[in-house]
């Protein structure tokens, strides 16, 4: 099997998390370069490769410099601050690379539509790295809902809590011009996207309350509303808490399904079986493994740019509702 040559754009902590998975896939993947301007992050990445007893690929200041120096590889994994997702992805797609893009895809719906235009023009592959959409548990949950396992879906309730405020103090994640938002747009984006993916519909109406807790971005949030098909939802993001735990409950008129933001669990109870029953599902693979399967034509793209657009449209509604202090209708 020929190896996929890849670059990683951004070499921060989350990027190194993904690199560890990529380095376990020596049979399929060869990292050939990095785009990273921070010497601190470069040194941490060099140590990661040294610990794995591997030679660290070269670093470049920009995607264009990398392509000029060594040509375009097969693919790119973009793990930069949110503000730079659009331009980084544009440059990689234009150079002929397929792209795996860390969540959230872009800052807003206007950027999402622009990125879809670029993808269509370049005819390259774009996969958004939302673990929920890529999770076998969420895929199985969607099948159960489609088959009517809990009857007609009436409501979805989801929450996530984390020590996010303390953990991101002094970082770009609390700079709204770079991050695009706070806890709900960062860790909470997994909750939002998975809920939207499970229901598979646009949101018709949303009302949001934000509490910045003395920071420049929202930390705690409460969002409620209704999907086009009539099901209601309520979402809670508690970014001034402890740990990092989530739950998603899908209520139907004949049962209840429980999963998590990342597809880390799945169980069901019904009228006939009122006690929780675990639902088996295949082992979850890393986002890079699934990206390679999509590239090879072995599976459909479970998280294309259209999923990123759906998320962005919803978040635009949520931000406007919190700002205007009223319910917002879809446009």
When pLDDT is averaged across residues 211-221 and rounded to a whole number, the result is 98
In angstroms, what is the C-alpha Rg of the chain? Answer: 20
Domain ranges of the chain: 4-129, 136-285+304-329
DSSP 145-164: HHTTTTSSEEEEEEEEEEEH
Q: pLDDT, tens digit, for every residue of 107-158?
A: 999 999 999 999 999 999 999 999 999 999 999 999 999 999 999 999 999 9
DSSP structural state of residue 56: P
DSSP structural state of residue 166: H
Q: How confident is the model at residue 103 (pLDDT cuts 50, 70, 90)?
A: very high
Which residue, chain included where needed, has tokens 């399967």? 293
Cα first-last separation, the chain: 47
Cα–Cα dist 13/33, whole Å: 17
CATH number, span 136-285+304-329: 3.30.360.10
Cα–Cα dist 242/257, whole Å: 25
Q: What is the mean pLDDT of the chain?
A: 97
CATH number, span 4-129: 3.40.50.720
Q: What is the pLDDT of residue 284?
A: 86
Do residues 185 and 221 touch, judged by C-beta distance below 8 A? no
Q: pLDDT, tens digit, for every residue of 38-80?
A: 999 999 999 999 999 999 999 999 999 999 999 999 999 999 9
Q: Do 136-285+304-329 and 4-129 fall under one CATH topology?
A: no
Q: What is the pLDDT of residue 111?
A: 98
């Amino acid at each position: 099997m020929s190896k996929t040559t890849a670059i990683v754009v951004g070499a921060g902590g989350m990027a190194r998390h993904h690199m560890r998975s990529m380095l376990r896939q020596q049979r399929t993947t060869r990292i050939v370069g990095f785009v990273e301007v921070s010497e601190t992050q470069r040194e941490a990445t060099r140590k990661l490769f040294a610990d794995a007893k591997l030679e660290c690929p070269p670093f470049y200041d920009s995607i264009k410099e990398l392509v000029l120096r060594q040509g375009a590889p097969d693919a790119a994994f973009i793990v930069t601050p949110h503000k730079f997702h659009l331009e980084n992805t544009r440059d990689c797609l234009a150079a002929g690379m397929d792209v795996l893009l860390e969540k959230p895809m872009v800052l807003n719906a206007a950027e999402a539509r622009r990125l879809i235009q670029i993808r269509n023009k370049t005819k390259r592959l774009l996969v958004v790295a939302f673990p929920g959409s890529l999770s076998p548990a969420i895929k199985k949950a969607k099948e159960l809902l489609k088959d009517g396992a809990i009857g007609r879906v009436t409501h979805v309730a989801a929450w996530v809590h984390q020590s996010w405020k303390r953990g991101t103090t002094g970082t770009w994640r609390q700079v709204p011009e770079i991050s695009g938002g706070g806890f709900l747009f960062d860790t909470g984006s997994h909750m939002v996207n998975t809920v939207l993916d499970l229901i598979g519909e646009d949101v018709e109406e949303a009302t949001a309350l934000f509490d910045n807790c003395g920071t420049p971005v929202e930390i705690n949030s409460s969002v409620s509303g209704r999907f086009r098909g009539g099901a209601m939802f309520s979402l809670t993001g508690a970014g001034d808490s402890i740990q990092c735990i989530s739950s998603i409950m899908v209520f139907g008129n004949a049962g209840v399904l429980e999963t998590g933001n990342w597809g880390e669990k799945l169980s069901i109870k019904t009228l006939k079986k009122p006690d929780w029953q675990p639902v088996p599902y295949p082992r979850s693979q890393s986002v890079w493994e699934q990206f390679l399967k999509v590239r090879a034509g072995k599976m459909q793209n479970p998280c294309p740019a259209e999923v990123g657009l759906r998320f962005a449209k919803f978040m635009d509604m949520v931000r406007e509702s919190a700002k205007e202090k009223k319910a917002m209708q879809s446009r």
